[in-house]
Structure 1
Amino acid sequence: MTPAERQVWNAYPTGEWVDFRVGDRERDDPASGDGWGPERTVRADLLVALLLGVRDPEPGRTAGLRLAGARITGSLDLSDATVTAKVHLLNCHLADPVDLTDITAHGIRLRGCDVHRVRAARATVEGLFELDGSHIHRGVRLDNAHVTGQLRMSHTRITAPLRRGQGKNHKFDVRRPMSPGELEERGYTTDTWAVWAGGLTVDGGAFMRGLHAAGGLRLIGARFNGGLYLRGAEVTSVRSIAVNGDHLQATTVEFNNGFKAEGTVRLRGARIDGVLSFHASTVRAPGQIVLHLSHAQVDEVVLTPASLQGTINLGYSRFGVLLDQPDAYDGDVRLNGLVYESLRGDWAVADRLRWLRRSANGYRPQPYEQLAGWYRRIGHEPDARRVLLAKQRERRGTLRLPGRTWGRLLDAMVGYGYRPWLAAVWAALLLVTGMAVFHLIPPAKIDTEEVRHFDPFVYTLDLLVPVSVFEQRGAWEPVGWTLWLANLLIVAGWVLATALIAGATRVLRPVASS
């Protein structure tokens, strides 16, 4: 063993720290760890041997690997192992993969390290699994892993694994950290996931605040029993999806306070028992679905982003509370099948109607019924009627010419029954018109021997009523062109009566069913 390795060997039984840092920020930067000399270099095989029990703990002490500022050479391969000692690496440089596949451990911390790749598929970590502040160059695998404590990846930088392209020169050491520009120049692309964590279970919180992930997050079927926190994180992807959390389950999910994503945030079929927040977030997917939240169940959705560019799909989901704002929706909004218990936000009824009309799929009745039902539940019956009137007007555009014609007539006469006062306005206008005309041009008496006094008001009213109740029609005969007016009044009376009956049926039907 080298002197550096001897220090680690001697410190392990007591769990004491071995710190190779020199106190200079630039020289201690793990990104430059390739240049560290033998005084700071430790072989990964030695660390594996220690963690697998080559040395027993000192009596009365807890063994552990606590190492700072070291250059670790070779692959730290603990796959299939059971590690009882705590592992804490701080500001270390690991140029080869860290393999924790199928491991059972009591706590793993790689804090502020420069790491080639982390594989931890099906790992069981009974405690804290920390990658805070580290730079991981070829992605993290956590699929079907189980962390009983917290998963911490705050301020971690992760780049997806590479795929060889058609570059000029492929003969180089892929373990050496390189900038995105160098990778592109050498013909490599990052077209897979930065974090592959389908089926991951985290019992404590999963803290990814300030995470920088180039390649996207794959969280399909993951369970976050203590919540998922991505406040201030930045996720980019060369594919269309930045975050794939289909069927994700969590108590709380935060994509807020500076969260940025280039690509779709997909949470189809997610189950979130608390708050799903997009407050002050920026997600861009122009021409695509920017937020795919269909078939989900969420207690409360906070949709108050800085910017969501693209289509928002909320179809067939169930929300307890939807807190949103009008400018949250940049493009198409899919609302068919969405059910919510309550709406919050600074919205006028006209804004909500524009919200319903944003769907590029055209008219769907359910969103209108859902919104009207909510207004009715909170006691805003006039607003509910306004929504249902808008529904009928949108529906009219889907009908054939006869249906559209009758619909326009119903709308003008009584507002599809939701504005019955319009019938009174029309009746009053026709009544005044008839009174004026028949006062100037009285009709002729049919039975000259009968003694009757002509009253233009009663005569016009008798024409407007579908069934003659004042017996004026049979007693007086319009003369000249007033005959056309009389016939118009009779037809208008029937139309108004029919419109009122149709409207009353439409208005009273939901009341009766409730």
Structure 2
Amino acid sequence: MVRSRPLWRLTAAERKVWEAYPSGSWVDLRTGDADRDDPAGGATWGRERTVRAELLTALLLGARPAAPGQVAGLRLAGARVVGTLNLSDATITTKLHLLNCHLSGTVALTDATTKGVRFRGCDVRRIRAARCTIDGLFELDSCTVRAGVRLDNAHITGQLRLARATLFAPDGTSAASESYKADARRAFGDAEKQERGWDQHHWALWAGGLTVDGGAFCRDLRSTGGLRLIGAKFNSGLYLQRAVIESTGGHAVYADHMQATSVEFSENFTAEGTVRLRGARVSGVLSFDQAKLSAQGRALHLSHMQVDELILRPASVRGEVNLGYSRVGVLLDDPRSYPGRVRLNGLVVESIRGNVPLSDRLAWLGRDPEGYRPQPYEHLAAWYRRIGHEQEARRVLLAKQRARRATIGVPGRLAGLLLDVVVGYGYRPWLAGVWFALLLTAGTVVFATHPPAQVGLDERRLFHAFPYTLDLLVPVSVFEQRGAWEPVGWTQWVAGILIASGWVLATALIAGGTRLLRPSTP
């Protein structure tokens, strides 16, 4: 432990920092040995590399003015910073830049207003920056933060950089954390508290209401604990390519009502836990290309969302996908890449890209855990018609009727099955022609070999099997053959079947053509 000293009794390392601050010069306390300079082992660094956080606080709050003609700034590399760097409620006009430093205490920027803050390759206990305003860059590239980052309702006018950073959620073992959890448990219960995203010790990044004017670059991020981004605004995009998020409480990403110009969960982005963007607004591309998603229950929750283009071609998905009641400008997906249950009711897509076989689309529509819903079928059929694919639209509507058939009673199922077999619910009227031709052929063969008897013997007539069979099949006698000839023996059953089949075919054609059996949209 390093004992606290009055600021006028500085160590050699602190004296260097004190003297360099007015000109903004770098103070480098590193040894040049990679192992000895690893900030993860900074707790063992000696006095020659130790700087008190209260000294840094004093300098940033104006203990020393800038040198004439110079821009003051705190630039420090390879230091062990002990104590809490408490800048809460402060207005800081100089930049803070730490490189490969070890900070054993909390960095507190709550309600602060500051210039750019850059920590690169540092090992930090915790960062608390709720409601702060950072005029410039906030960087944690290649840093390790042991007990979470808080940026709720913060405003960053530049970029947020978390590339190659490693974040851990608070362990929840402190007295304050236990008190908070007990209060929340009494008020809401564990399940509701977790669902609402209020259980803070499960979140490595707590950033609800965050606004980032520049891009948020979090590529190759590693997080043990979720990212809470409810209501966050990323005015130049959020980029999480190759990030790995391991949830400790159910949700890997919780970003309801988030707004962004583009969002990338792509290039082997991996989430163990639910990725939830319910009600999000993305004015550009939302991509899950080659993502790996896994959760108990719902892996991807994208309901009530609005997005210009959704790329949904993950490398693997274990869990349910929810796209219900979302509006998508362009959908580029492969339903086989997310083979589990998928909720589609209320989804509206203006255009679909990609060459997905219709059989895969129909299987996609049938995977809703709530069973048959008419809207997804009707919407997909309307899209096929819009692009001039009438045959595909008919196949979709036929699949809709078949799916509906499983939801109605036995009489309706039987009637529906008959209508399906005979004319394909009216979407395959040519089937009636096929049945008619088969029956006509069969009847002609039967009556040609076993001719009926003539009814009236006052005149001699010549029997022809083809027009006789045709007259039996037509519901209203056209050729006046029925009354002239009487089938005998077992051919009476054949004649009865032909007459009944004619009526069934005619009824099915009328019902299918006029959609008499088509259900009204709920």
TM-score (ref. length: structure 1): 0.91
- Give distance in 2, aligned partners of 1:310 and 1:2: 57
- Using the alignment, how far apart are the partners of 1:325 and 1:163 within structure 2? 40
SS of structure 1 residue aligned to 2:203: coil
Per-residue CA distance 1:157-184 (angstroms, 9 max, x = gap): 1111122299xxxxxxxxxxxxxxxxxx
Please, which of 192, 211, 215 is the counterpart of residue 202 of structure 2? 192
| Contact 2:331 2:353 (8 Å CA) reproduced | yes
The alignment status of 1:149 with 2:191, answered yes or no, reads no
How many Å apart are 1:452 and its aligned residue? 4.5
Matched, 1:290 2:299: yes
Question: Which residue in 1 is equivalent to 2:332?
Answer: 323
Distance 1:91 1:339 in 2: 49
User: Which of 206, 213, 216 lines up with 1:206 in the alignment?
Assistant: 216
Alignment of 1:84-483 (within 5 A): 84-164=93-173, 191-285=201-295, 287-450=296-459, 452-483=461-492
* Deviating more after overlay: 322-331 vs 303-312: 322-331
Q: Report the CA distance between 1:211 and its aligned residue.
A: 0.9
Helix, strand or coil at the partner of 2:382: helix
CA distance in 2, matches of 1:282, 1:438: 67
Q: Would the alpha carbon gap of residues 508 and 392 (structure 1) be closer, same or farther in structure 2, given more than 3 Å must change?
A: closer
CA contact (8 A) 2:314 2:338 kept: no
Cα pair 1:215 1:235 within 8 Å, conserved: yes
- Deviation digits for residues 27-53 of structure 1, max 9, x if unmatched? 211122222222222211121111111
- Pick which of 496-505 and 135-144 moved more: 496-505
User: Which amino acid in structure 1 is aligned with residue 500 of structure 2?
Assistant: V
Tell me, what secondary structure is at the counterpart of 2:375?
A: helix
Match of 1:18 in 2: 27
Instruction: State the Cα deviation string for residues 125-145 of structure 1 (Å, max 9, x = none).
Output: 111001111111110000000
- Aligned structure 1 segments of 4 or more residues deviating by more than 6 angstroms: 507-510
Hey, what's the Cα distance between the residues in 1 that align with 2:446 and 2:293? Answer: 66
Deviation of 1:319 after TM superposition, in Å, equals 1.3
What do the CA deviations read for 1:222-278 (whole angstroms, capped 9, x no partner)?
111111111111111121111111111111111111211111111111111111111
**Structure 1 SS opposite 2:445:** helix
Q: Secondary structure at the match of 2:515?
A: helix
| Distance of 2:103 and 2:23 partners within structure 1 | 24
Query: C-alpha displacement at 1:508, in angstroms?
Result: 13
The residue that corresponds to 1:8 in the other structure is 17
d(CA) in 1 for partners of 2:297 and 2:356?
26
Amino acid at match of 1:204: G
How far apart, CA to CA, are the structure 1 residues paired with 2:442 and 2:39?
92
Q: Is the 8 A contact 1:190 1:238 kept in 2?
A: no
**Secondary structure at 2:448's aligned position in 1?**
helix
Count of residue pairs the alignment pairs up: 487
Q: What whole-Å deviation, never above 9, does each CA across 1:410-437 have from its counterpart, x for those lacking one?
A: 1111111111111111111111222222
CA deviation after TM superposition for structure 1 residue 507, in Å: 11
Q: Shift in Å at residue 204 of structure 1?
A: 0.6
Structure-1 residue corresponding to 2:186: none
Structure 1 position 380, deviation (Å): 1.8
Aligned mates of 1:66, 1:79 — CA distance in 2: 20
Provide the secondary structure at the position in 1 that maps to 2:13. Answer: helix
Contact 2:200 2:206 in 1 (8 A): no
Q: Separation in 2 of the partners of 1:147 and 1:137?
A: 22
1:163 is paired with a residue whose SS is coil
The alignment yields a C-alpha RMSD, in angstroms, of 2.1
Output the CA distance in 2 between the equivalents of 1:288 and 1:165. Answer: 31
Asked if the contact 2:98–2:119 (Cα under 8 Å) also holds between the matched residues in 1, the reply is: yes
CA distance in 2, matches of 1:453, 1:344: 64
When structure 1 is superposed on structure 2, of 321-330 and 310-319 the one drifting more is 321-330
Unaligned runs of 5+ in 1: 167-188
Q: Which deviates more from structure 2 when the two are superposed, residues 368-377 or residues 259-268?
A: 368-377
Aligned counterparts of 1:432 and 1:277: Cα–Cα separation in 2: 58
Comparing 386-395 with 120-129, greater Cα deviation is found at: 386-395
Q: Do the aligned residues in 2 keep the contact of 1:162 with 1:190 (CA within 8 Å)?
A: no
Q: Percent identity?
A: 65
Q: Distance between the aligned counterparts of 2:450 and 2:118, measured in 1? A: 100
Specify which of 35, 38, 43 is matched with residue 29 of structure 1: 38
Mean CA deviation greater in 153-162 or 365-374 = 365-374
CA distance in 1 between partners of 2:38 and 2:418 (Å): 77
Distance between the aligned counterparts of 1:31 and 1:57, measured in 2? 33
Given that 1:418 and 1:507 are in contact with CA atoms closer than 8 Å, whether structure 2 keeps it comes out as no
Per the TM alignment, residue 298 of structure 1 is displaced from its structure 2 partner at its CA by: 1.3
Give the 3 Å change call, closer, same or farther, for CA 112–165 of structure 1 in structure 2: closer
1:499 lines up with 2:508 in the alignment: yes
Q: Equivalents in 1 of 2:449, 2:329: separation in Å?
A: 65
Contact 1:190–1:215, Cα closer than 8 Å, also in 2:
no
Contact 1:293-1:314 at 8 Å conserved across structures: yes
Q: Distance in 1 between matches of 2:17 and 2:410?
A: 86
**CA 1:191/1:330 → structure 2, altered by over 3 Å: closer, same or farther?**
farther
8 Å contact 1:200–1:221 — kept in the other structure?
yes
Quickly say closer, same or farther: Cα 1:234–1:484, change in 2 above 3 A.
same
